[in-house]
Amino acid sequence: MKILVSAGPTREPIDAVRFLSNRSTGRMGIAVARAAAEAGHEVALVLGPVAIEPPDGVRVVRVETALEMLAALRAELPAADALVMAAAVADFRPAAPAARKLHKGEMPAAIQLVRNPDILAGLRPLKGNRIFCGFAAETDDVLASAARKLARKGLDLIVANDVTAPGAGFAVDTNVVTVLRPGAAPERWPLLSKIDVARRLVALLETLATERPAP
């Protein structure tokens, strides 16, 4: 299969040196890219700014902002059989980023924000019979919000996790996830390393690919 993965945070500039972002390290999405490549798939990884190295054998497209991530994924999606959207897209960006560094005396007391597009929603018209997998990192009401996102974003599956649970969340190498699919009971996976979650996810994508209708 040709698997397209997004990972990491996005950075939304305030000025030439400051940005808004989030705590994503890219570990989970990079693990998915690694597992997919190890399983023999052709992998493109659209990667926000992260400190860790992407795996060998994966084609990496580096992006910074949500708008750049959307453009890169839109360009890559036509060639893909599956999209795994593990990136933590910043939902807002400063409305008028300054091209140069603002001195502290020039900083406004409040920064006006505008909504970033929902990337998965934006890619939906291009979905065809591609498999779309989302991630939902939640802190409360985990399964209910993940189920709402599964439906609202028209996904084939969503990997939900409670980022406050022991062994889950940002900057740790393990995860505890529940996989939701339309019309199926939620499937809770045990505490696993992120690479093992990724391997199981890739195996699930392979199964779903054999079940999907011909284009």
Q: Which amino acids are annotated catalytic? A: 22
Q: How far apart are CA 88 and CA 90, in angstroms?
A: 6
| Least distance from ligand CTP to the Cβ atom of residue 2, Å | 19
Amino acid at 113: L
Residue 66 C-beta: closest distance to ligand CTP, Å? 6
Nearer to ligand CTP, 145 or 193 (CB): 145
Question: In which region does residue 199 sit, left (phi positive, over 0), alpha (psi from -120 to 50) or beta (all else)?
Answer: alpha
H/E stretch holding 71 reads: helix 66-76
Give whichever of 102 and 189 is closer to ligand CTP, judged by the CB atom. 189
Q: Read off the DSSP letter of residue 108.
A: -
**Contacts with ligand CTP, residue ranges (CB under 6 A):** 66, 85, 87, 89, 91, 116, 118-120, 134-136, 149
| 8 A C-beta contact, residue 85 and residue 69 | no
CB of 164 to ligand CTP, least distance (A): 14
Return the number of the residue (17 or 126) whose C-beta is nearest ligand CTP. 126
- Candidates 28, 37, 57; CA nearest to 195 is 28
Q: How many whole angstroms separate alpha carbon 134 and alpha carbon 87?
A: 9
**Min separation Cβ 179 and ligand CTP, Å:** 13
Q: What share of the chain is helix, strand, coil (3-state, %, to 5)?
A: 30, 25, 45
Closer residue to ligand CTP (CB): 106 or 187: 187
